[in-house]
Each structure stands twice: as C-alpha cells, then as structure tokens.
Amino acid sequence: MKRVLFLFTCLAGVFSMGFSPALANDRYIERPPVRVSPDLAAPWLLQLGHAPDSARRAAPEQRRAYRTQPAPRATKQAPQRQRAVQTQPARVQQASAPRMVQKRAVRPQINPIYLPQVVAYDGKHKPGTVIIDTRDNFLFLVEKNGKARRYGVGTGKPGFEWAGTHKVSAKREWPDWRPPAEMIAREKAKGRHLPTFVAGGIENPLGARALYLGSTLYRIHGTNQPWTIGAAVSSGCIRMRNEDVVNLYERVPVGATVVVM
C-alpha cells in the first residue's frame, strides 16, 4: 500500500511540472552518431587497444613527443637552487668588500727651497764663479748685476766633508762611473759589492751630466736619487737634480772657478 502511494505521489509531481507525452517520446528519436577526431581520441583509444588506423599511425609520433618532453625532476633542480642560495652571499660579500689597494713606498719629496731660483748676491766673487755652501747645501752661480742663480745640492756626509778652490777640468754628458778602489773596499766591508764600471745612463749614479773638479776624484754631477738633494749623503761629490745639472752644464765652461766652503 505504501509503495502505491509513493508512486502516485511521484507521478503527480511529474505532471505538475508540465511533463507532456511529447517530451517523453523525444528520447526514442534516432539521433545522428557522435564523431570524435582521431587526434583527440587516439591517446585514450590506445589505452583501450582499439584505436583506429589513423590514431595508430599518429601514436608513435605522439609517443616521441611525450618522451622528448619529460617532466622536470625535483631532485635535479634542488641542488641548483641550493647552489644559488650558497653563491648569493658570496657575490654580496664580494661586492661589499673594500678593494684592496696595494701600498707603494712613498719617497719624501724635495723641499721647494732647493729648487732653482735667482737670489741677490753681494759677495766678492766675479760672475761665472761657482760657490758651494756645504753647510746649507746650496750651489750658487754668480751672475752680473748683484744676482746669483741658486740650486739645491747634496753634499758629503759626515767624515767626507772637504773645502777648497778648483777649476772645472772636464765636462761629460751621461758620464760613465768607475768607483775608486777606496770606495769599493769601504762598501765591501759593509757587505755591499760595487761594480768596477757602470756605463752612462739613467741608472748611473752620476746622472745626466758631470763637471770634474781639477785633479781630484770629486765632481759636480746629477743623480738618480733626487730625494737626497738638501742632505749630506755623498762620499764628497756634489750632486744635483738631473734637470739642474743640465742647466748648470750649459752655463759653466771648462776652466770656471769652483769654490767649496
């Protein structure tokens, strides 16, 4: 009895929603067959083993396409990300680290007082005379009209001072250097071995020019150590900057008087 009442209730609901016999008969109408493209159906039909010929021909290409595009593996990417994380701080540290500047030995500069300049002169020596003041490390070339051209020089170190008056006996451009035997022996005792001969040139201790004083071993010469000008550093010779000794060389002839005091 309950089942009859349930069916009756369902039929009443269907007719209340407007169900008609025409709609009920539509399901019996023959509909056109559904056609699926082989390109779309092939992968699924291959799994069922009933793919059409066109799908079977396309299947190898599709398989190759699937094989040439494998899914990325997480295990291969993980080390790359790890390395990127590890190298990033290194790049930041390298960029932020201060640049190391190689320190160079800084030699003292010459005092400007020892650069060439014209000064007043009221002494007794006539123009053309060279006067060397070993106390204040100056060389004066006496000129006319109460003037003198003054240069800074390096003079004999303690124990090698000397004084006297001589003539310029010879002049040489880029002179050779032959250290005297006494100097070689003296330096050898200090553990320094001097050569017996050095050809003229930029490395030669006598520099660009030399003016020889009488028959002595002393000279007025240039130097490749200009920072020593203004000090008592030599073994008795009078040293000048190369620029200054070239200038003096052009102004002082052979036979000029040189007074060392």
- Residue 221 C-alpha from the chain's centroid: 37
Structure tokens at 206: 């006598």
Strands (E), 94-185: 117-120, 130-133, 138-142, 147-152, 155-156, 164-173
Report whether 231 contacts 113 (CB < 8 A): no
First to last CA, the chain: 154
Distance between CA 230 and CA 109 in Å, rounded? 11
Question: Which of 10, 50, 125, 237 is the catalytic position?
Answer: 237
Query: 3-class DSSP state for residue 70?
Result: coil
User: Rounded to the nearest 10 degrees, how much is the dihedral formed by the CA atoms of 50, 51, 57, 59?
Assistant: -100
Buried b (16+ CB within 10 A) or exposed e, 41-66: bbeebbeeeebeeebeebeeeeeeee
Distance between CA 152 and CA 137 in Å, rounded? 6
| 221 is an active site residue | yes
Question: Which of 10, 50, 193, 221 is the catalytic position?
Answer: 221
**Residue 191 Rama label (left phi>0; alpha psi -120 to 50; beta):** left
Positions marked catalytic:
221, 237
